[in-house]
Amino acid sequence: MRIALAQLNPTVGDVRGNADRIINIIRRAAAERADLVVFSELTLLGYPPKDLLLKPHLVETCRVELARVAAACTGLTALVGFAEPTGRDVGRPLHNALAVCRDGRVTAVHRKTLLPTYDVFDEDRYFEPAGRREVERVHDATGREWRLGLSICEDLWNMRGRPPAGAASRAYIQDPVGEIVAAGAELVINASASPFEAGKNEHRTRLFSARADELGVPVIVVNQVGANDDLIFDGASAVFAPGRGLVARAKAFEEDLLTLEWPSESARVEPYPDELSSIHAGLVLGTRDYVRKCGFQGAVLGLSGGIDSALTAVLAVEAIGADAVHGVALPSRFSSDHSIADARRLAANLGIDFRVLPIETIHRAFEATLAETFAGRAADITEENVQARVRGNLLMALSNKFGWLLLTTGNKSELAVGYCTLYGDMSGGLAVISDVPKTTVYELARRINRLAGREVIPAGSIEKPPSAELRPDQTDQDSLPPYHVLDAVLRLYVEEMRSVGQIVQAGFDEAMVRDVVRKVDASEYKRKQAALGLKVTSRAFGSGRRMPIAARCEP
């Protein structure tokens, strides 16, 4: 059987546009003599559609467009993800479903059983689980019948007993894929929308290889690619064979159509980038798709001469091109000459538009306006924040006037402990590196220069002590532990949900840990008002982390 793995980048909610692209891929697959073409989970809608699923007219559009897709299926079978009404007055209104399209019509529908409702997933809000599972029979060009076990994403993410070490899987009582193989399926196909995070592809490979061994049949996984809001999907659709593990893989972080003959001893196996390279690729894809899918004319960001804004600028240029990126230096009396020079040098290295908007006049106007009210009180962080908010207002003015997306440049370490200014440097529409710890920011910057064979990011931006430059001789370490220590504590507290006691037992100073944890918890209100950030770690400050603000909990 010739099978085509169709790895598409759908736009959430654009059902007609997605259907057009699906039909084009079906035609390409037919030209490659495919017997079967498999699309990812909820392809017609894009994943995750969230509360768009509650709009009856959109679900009806899904039905109409699915019929149009099915009409294009002659001479092959297509498996297309869509949202199917249950037709019942009780329970959730929809099924997360996979349509079997052939001979110009939908001949069968298979439904998802395991509905993830954790981290960034909220499927129990919308979907009812499948009531039963059946083997799907498909004939290839020779007339041979193949018994397929069709599944959707989470249905495959289960292992009886202990999963392989490090595998990101959940233990479920029910094993829908195991059940359908027991019913006679000789090939498991999984339509998936599995979001990217650093290291996750290794987990997938181990888990799905182990599942193929356990089930005793090949496993084919077709994953969505592209970014939708905070979630990045890396593609890398793949085939796993019992006793052989990974035997075929599509490209990572880009659309692909991988057609292979099964069974086969030879198939295309695209390389998957290492962890640091995958983070870089994911951030570029996330930025590009957010700008493109939201319809912005370009992007603007403040260039301070520091490493965070430099990295964000490099990623933006790679995502949307130098002509569409606009860098702005906004110096104050506390800005060093070398910082402005580094910002100018970065812009020249990248070939982007660069302008300087000094904030001193506006800053002094604020000081004069507040002088009488603040009389008798010592200067403190209030005056520092005024500078950041002046900058935020100027950058937002450029965004409004020219239709540019304002990129915020704060990293995960700063956002975690609130080392950022609400309505100041937090102003913007997309926080590109808000899930990237500061230590990883340094690694990415050095990698960029190393691969370029030149100084794309000025050495001064990388080597000088990090500083907000809001008061004389200020450095980040006046307020924070060294970043390699801070990031280790944050990983344990934020990503692994460890207690203060457990973190101290791991070898960290208790007073420092308590101070960091206090700052993290006290800054929740800031993060609730932060720009949308791209998720690249196991737990970002986004849709998968739902912490209360008005709360009191022993850390």
How many DSSP H helices and E strands does the chain contain?
16, 20
Residue of 41, 84, 197, 414 marked active site:
41
Q: Is 112 a catalytic residue?
A: yes
Q: Is 41 a catalytic residue?
A: yes
Give me the amino acid identity at 485: V
Q: Is 438 a catalytic residue?
A: no
| Best CA proximity match to 303, nearest among 330, 269, 272 | 330
Q: Among all chains, which residue has been given the structure tokens 């003599």?
A: 33
Neighbours of 288 (CB within 10 A): 18
Radius of gyration of the chain (CA): 26
Q: Which two tokens stand for residue 82?
A: 């869509």
Distance between first and last Cα of the chain? 56
| Best CA proximity match to 535, nearest among 201, 286, 307 | 286
Residue of 73, 84, 112, 438 marked active site:
112
Q: Which two tokens stand for residue 351?
A: 């070939």
Separation in Å, CA 550 to CA 521, 523, 524, 553: 10, 11, 9, 10
Q: Is the distance from CB of 300 to CB of 329 less than 8 angstroms?
A: no
Q: Are strands 430-431 and 404-408 parallel, antiparallel or unpaired?
A: parallel
Q: Is the distance from CB of 282 to CB of 196 less than 8 angstroms?
A: yes
Residue of 153, 154, 251, 318 marked active site:
153
Q: For residues 358 and 332, what is the distance between their CA atoms, to the nearest angstrom? A: 6
Q: What is the DSSP string of 380-420?
A: -HHHHHHHHHHHHHHHHHHHHHHTEEEEE---HHHHHHT-S
Q: Is the distance from CB of 431 to CB of 229 less than 8 angstroms?
A: no
The residues that are catalytic are 41, 112, 153
